Structure 1
Amino acid sequence: MTTFLSVSAQKPVEIPLWPNGAPNTNGLTGEQEDLEGGRVANVTNPTITVYRPAKPNGITILMCPGGGYARLAMNHEGHDMASWFNTQGITYAVLKYRMPNGHSEVPLSDAEQAIRIIRQHAKEWGISSNRIGIMGASAGGHLAASLATLYSSEETRPDFQILFYPVISMIPGITHGGSRTNLLGEKPTKEQEEAYSLERRVSSRSPQAFIMLSADDRAVPPMNSIGYFLALNEQKVPVSMHIYPTGGHGWGFRNNFTYKRQWTEELEKWLREGLKFEK
């Protein structure tokens, strides 16, 4: 904790997304389940935890942890990155979102609300309302890319997207089976499949992207990222992709990932020099 305090202006603050109740439901009830390794399931009260740096540079990143749309890996795909981002002057928020349980609109509504809250606090937090990005890992990467392609208004459009080994497609043979079932149910229609196959939802207004993954990922096939890269590229959206030869799936901020130094340096450089913001 001492490391964190040395680079942060204050302790993290947890903000509820829907203090007066969410506008929709996933049908799940009961208490949140705290699982091993910092994972949580059955989120009923979604929140963002905001980590503010001592000297904000204007950029904010909202992180969506992964977990197959069944649970959330809140530590290595969430809170563990806070200090690293804060040292760069980046305001960092971790989204604890509700599971879809077959209600595909629920996680996306939580992500949109989180972006709204961040933009509403822009002046207070010393951040720029047009430098707010979405980041996600695995199924959280699908949620991040969903916000980047399916946002409902300019107010909730992110200014950039960062994806760790993301689920992108809902097409059988490419998708991650568990994420697909949890998001769309056991027997989704072709229309549902198409709606959440995000490589098919990219437009010229999709935000600039940074994508990273391992070539030997057996959980989420690399074709998810590759298809998304090609779709962004076709729409002339700036995109950077880094494919590491080994590492499998789910490494997040873990030190045992062989290429951690590479991805952190590449992302830090992209955030410092590669982002192009609208005037």
Structure 2
Amino acid sequence: MMMDRRTLLASSLLAGAAPWRAEGMMASPPATPSDDLPDAPEVISLWPGGTGPGRLHPITQEIVERSKDPALPDRAIHGISHPRMVVFRPKQPNGAAVLITPGGGYVRVVIDREGYEMARWLAARGFTCFVLFYRLPGEGWASGPDTALIDAQRAIRIIRHRAGQYGIDPARVASMGFSAGGHLCADLSSRFDAAVYAPIDAADALPARPFCSAPVYPVISMTPPLAHAGSRREMLGDHPSAAQEAAHSPDRNIPANPPPHFLLHAEDDPAVPVGNTLALRDALKAKGARVECHLFEQGGHGFGLRNAAGKPVAIWPQLWLNWAQTAGLVKPA
């Protein structure tokens, strides 16, 4: 069910004012300084008690530095049992928020290139940004391939529940994701109404549909030959059924009311074929969705901001910003 901005704002204010009660549980914890994520100014836990629901066995978090240049960190994290959002607040908020889901092939979550760097760029332009460190489906969770989607739905709802705290319009919460995080972004934008977890507090009464969505060089299809083999394996195992592939390919699950989409891919991407973005575009168009699609001759995979420098694809963030203004995410000055 869609909600207009006035209804959503009222629901958010009511949810924030009403205490949530459940035996043995508490409302989602407040934002706190990070004790385990580097350079994190502010962190919001997604789940009461910190640990995500449905853990089957203990896992150990590890942060790996992949860069040889100290001035350009390229960290990635895996073993996430405490899903959370790192918050980047702008000096002059424009009232809009962006949930960022970095990539990593569903075996890790990239911290810098597709997380903090993008958040800083957006915050400098007025957006309140939330970088999501989501649980990985192959690391032993009872929810299996829906694990990351559960965290993404919960994240959108918490952002809306705390809209007043961050000075944002609860209706204007966008989603942006990269590579496997682009799959999560697209999955959220197609299955925002899917009942993938049981509600636990007032935040879960709010909708999880993004205002608009930007899957960037995204993994989309779970069916070969378009499928990214590593992401498919982490999501579905070595021998998924055709039904499982269909259930977790966002282009095959577009709802009647998809949010507007901004799509971006380089045609020389050696990891995720550009056909993934084209399949999503065609599926969205078939449902009458508003779509802007940019294809670049060169760029490779995982270019984010830093690896786009000096190439025509470097213009992509400004293209997104221009589009976001026309889509209504950014209000006229």
Provide the secondary structure at the position in 2 that maps to 1:156: coil
Provide the secondary structure at the position in 2 that maps to 1:89: coil
Residues 60 and 131, structure 1, Cα contact 8 Å, conserved in 2: yes
Q: 2:187 aligns with which of 146, 154, 169?
A: 146
Q: Tell me, in whole angstroms, the C-alpha distance in 2 between the residues paired with 1:141 and 1:180.
A: 14
Q: 2:263 aligns with which of 211, 221, 232?
A: 211
Q: Tell me, in whole angstroms, the C-alpha distance in 2 between the residues paired with 1:115 and 1:158.
A: 7
Q: Tell me, in whole angstroms, the C-alpha distance in 1 between the residues paired with 2:278 and 2:59.
A: 39
Alpha-carbon offset, residue 191 of structure 1: 1.2
Q: Tell me, in whole angstroms, the C-alpha distance in 2 between the residues paired with 1:58 and 1:127.
A: 4
Q: Tell me, in whole angstroms, the C-alpha distance in 2 between the residues paired with 1:14 and 1:142.
A: 23
Provide the secondary structure at the position in 2 that maps to 1:55: coil
Give the share of equivalent positions with the same residue, in percent.
38
2:316 maps to 263
Provide the secondary structure at the position in 2 that maps to 1:155: coil
Deviation per CA, 1:139-167, whole angstroms, max 9, x where unpaired? 00000111000113661111110111000
Alpha-carbon offset, residue 271 of structure 1: 1.8
Residues 52 and 81, structure 2, Cα contact 8 Å, conserved in 1: no
Provide the secondary structure at the position in 2 that maps to 1:61: strand
TM-score of the superposed pair, with normalisation by structure 2 = 0.76
Alpha-carbon offset, residue 83 of structure 1: 2.3
Amino acid in the other structure paired with 2:190: T
Structure showing greater radius of gyration is 2
Provide the secondary structure at the position in 1 that maps to 2:285: helix
1:111 and 2:140 are equivalent in the alignment? no
Q: Map 1:13-162 to 2 at 5 A.
A: 13-20=42-49, 21-25=51-55, 27=56, 29-36=58-65, 37-101=74-138, 103-152=144-193, 155-162=207-214
Deviation per CA, 1:78-130, whole angstroms, max 9, x where unpaired? 00122211122111110001100171011111111111110111011110111
Q: Tell me, in whole angstroms, the C-alpha distance in 2 between the residues paired with 1:150 and 1:40.
A: 26
Q: Tell me, in whole angstroms, the C-alpha distance in 1 between the residues paired with 2:291 and 2:160.
A: 24
Q: 1:207 to 1:65 in 2, by over 3 A?
A: same
1:195 and 2:247 are equivalent in the alignment? yes
Q: 1:261 to 1:203 in 2, by over 3 A?
A: same
Q: Tell me, in whole angstroms, the C-alpha distance in 2 between the residues paired with 1:180 and 1:271.
A: 31
Q: Tell me, in whole angstroms, the C-alpha distance in 2 between the residues paired with 1:14 and 1:189.
A: 38
Residues 24 and 106, structure 1, Cα contact 8 Å, conserved in 2: no
Q: Tell me, in whole angstroms, the C-alpha distance in 1 between the residues paired with 2:41 and 2:218.
A: 27
Residues 176 and 185, structure 2, Cα contact 8 Å, conserved in 1: yes
Structure 1 residues without counterparts, runs of 5 or longer: 1-10
Q: Tell me, in whole angstroms, the C-alpha distance in 2 between the residues paired with 1:185 and 1:224.
A: 20
Alpha-carbon offset, residue 256 of structure 1: 4.6
Structure 2 residues without counterparts, runs of 5 or longer: 1-39, 66-73, 195-205
1:186 and 2:238 are equivalent in the alignment? yes
Q: Tell me, in whole angstroms, the C-alpha distance in 1 between the residues paired with 2:307 and 2:183.
A: 24
Provide the secondary structure at the position in 1 that maps to 2:129: strand
2:34 maps to none
Residues 253 and 260, structure 1, Cα contact 8 Å, conserved in 2: no
1:227 and 2:279 are equivalent in the alignment? yes
Q: 2:294 aligns with which of 242, 245, 248?
A: 242
Q: Tell me, in whole angstroms, the C-alpha distance in 2 between the residues paired with 1:12 and 1:127.
A: 18
Residues 12 and 52, structure 1, Cα contact 8 Å, conserved in 2: no
- RMSD value, Cα: 1.7
Provide the secondary structure at the position in 2 that maps to 1:76: helix
Q: Which moved more, 1:175-184 or 1:14-23?
A: 14-23
Q: Tell me, in whole angstroms, the C-alpha distance in 1 between the residues paired with 2:57 and 2:258.
A: 32
Amino acid in the other structure paired with 1:274: A
Provide the secondary structure at the position in 2 that maps to 1:78: helix
Q: Which moved more, 1:145-154 or 1:39-48?
A: 145-154
Residues 61 and 135, structure 1, Cα contact 8 Å, conserved in 2: yes
Alpha-carbon offset, residue 260 of structure 1: 4.6
Alpha-carbon offset, residue 255 of structure 1: 4.5
Residues 98 and 106, structure 1, Cα contact 8 Å, conserved in 2: yes
Residues 177 and 215, structure 2, Cα contact 8 Å, conserved in 1: yes
